[in-house]
Every structure is written in structure tokens, then in C-alpha cells.
Amino acid sequence: MTEADRRTAVPAGAGRDRRTEWILDAAGELLVSRGYRRVTIEEVARRAGVGKGTVYLHFPGKELLFLTVLMRAQSRMIDRFVRQAGDDPSAVLLSSVARSAYLWVHEEPIARAVLIGDVETLGTLSRSAARDTGDLLTVRERTVDAHFSALREHGLVRDDQPLELQRHAYEAILTGYLMIEPMTPGAAPDVPAAAGMLAHVVRSAFEIPGDPGAARAAAPRVAAAYRRLLDRLHEEMRRRTLI
């Protein structure tokens, strides 16, 4: 579809939002098929059916464009987690979260391409996030701390170590499960089995067996914290795409 065709197809008042979505869709498809380093803004514009200047109107640079692509994928994950927590309170347990996150990274093409397939790109976008997204990373850390605090207060995880060290250890285990795969390309994991083993490791290291009522009590507080993070993430995406 040409740029003129796309303009014709856009309802009045929705043009900027629609073009942003087309650009993000195109950038995501190219990220998955070609990799970050090989993709140019010109290719994104051509795939989206818009002019190169239109891409720069929405995204001042390549890093910001692909950071927004990754943020949009992350927002889908958080939204899914919040809905899961509403349907099944046990979804907020650390073992369940680790298993779901591991499976999601393997199911979501953009997350898989960045978090597993391209460590250099992950580093580039992580530095960009730290530099360009205001307090978003701080809000994310506070959200995870709120999650751990709710679980600790309801007797669902151990509290014999400082919260920040516990959170760091949990994130290191999850990151290690993901990052080891590019380093051992000849030993591709059975993804469901690896997710189950990850859940077992997290459960053994952190969790305390509790009654279902404890998870039901903690779930609304955890879900509310992630809804606030999701709102902040959407706010940052709108601000950074110049909408």
C-alpha cells in the first residue's frame, strides 16, 4: 500500500495514531526478520507505506523507534499478566510469573529477537531506556518491589533476606535462563520443560507453601501495581512518539 493509499484509508482525526501503529508494526516485522543492526529507517518507511520523513516526524531516531517497539511488546506482556492475576490469583506467585515470562519471551517474536537473539541490541536499547525514558525504569523497580512486598506480607515468599537482594537473585535466575540460550546454540531447550524447571527453581529458592486465600489476598495489590506501571509505560510511549 502506498502512502497515498494509507492516507485515504485513515479515518479523520485518527491519522497520526494510525501511522504510528503502521511504523511500529513495520519496524517490529523487520526487527524479527533482519535484526536491529541491518534495518534502516528507509526500509521501515517502505514497509509501512509512508515516507521517510513521516517516520522521523514520529520517531526522532532509530534507537527510539526500536525502543518503542520493545516497549509496546512489554506492554502486551504486562496487560496479559494483569488479566491473568484477575482470573487466577496464583498467577502472582513468583514461580508462576517466572514460568509465564519465560514462555512469553519464546512466544513473542519481538521479545525473542531482542532478549534471546541479539545481546548487543539488548544492550543498546537498555542504555537508551536508561537515558531517554525518564523515571520509567524506577517505576518498574518500584512495581517489582511492591510485588515482592505483597507476597512477603502474606507469607508467600521467604523474608529472611533483604528484599532488594531477593529481587536481584530472582531476576538473575530468570535472566540467566534466557541469556544462556544464545551461548549454547546447539542445545535448544524444550521450552515447556525448561519453563517448568525454572518455576521449580524459583519455587524452591523463594516461596513458602501457603493456602489459596493468601494468594487471593495479595493478587489485587499486585495487579494494581502493574496497572500503574502499564499506565506509565503507555504515557512514555505517547510522549516519546511525539503523539
CATH architecture of 63-240: Orthogonal Bundle (1.10)
DSSP the chain: --HHHHHHHSPTT-HHHHHHHHHHHHHHHHHHHH-GGG--HHHHHHHHTS-HHHHHHH-SSHHHHHHHHHHHHHHHHHHHHHHHHHH-GGGGSHHHHHHHHHHHHHH-HHHIIIIIT-HHHHHHHHHHHHHHSTTHHHHHHHHHHHHHHHHHHTTSB--SS-HHHHHHHHHHHHHHHHHHHHH-TTS---HHHHHHHHHHHHHHHHB----HHHHHHHHHHHHHHHHHHHHHHHHHHHHHTT-
Q: In this predicted structure, what is the pLDDT of residue 8? A: 39
Q: In this predicted structure, what is the pLDDT of residue 9? A: 46
Rg, C-alpha atoms of the chain: 20
Given this chain, do its domains 1-58 and 63-240 carry the same CATH topology? Answer: no
Q: In this predicted structure, what is the pLDDT of residue 82? A: 96
* 27 closest CA partner among 104, 135, 129, 125: 125
Q: In this predicted structure, what is the pLDDT of residue 6? A: 44
10-residue block means of pLDDT along the chain (243 residues)? 43 62 93 88 94 90 87 91 95 97 91 73 65 78 96 96 96 90 73 95 94 93 96 84 55
Name the residue ranges covered by the structural domains of the chain: 1-58, 63-240
Q: How far apart are the first and last CA of the chain?
A: 23
Q: In this predicted structure, what is the pLDDT of residue 119? A: 63
CATH architecture of 1-58: Orthogonal Bundle (1.10)
What is the rounded CA–CA span in Å between residue 4 and residue 50? 8
Q: In this predicted structure, what is the pLDDT of residue 49? A: 93
Q: In this predicted structure, what is the pLDDT of residue 133? A: 67
What is the rounded CA–CA span in Å between residue 200 and residue 162? 22
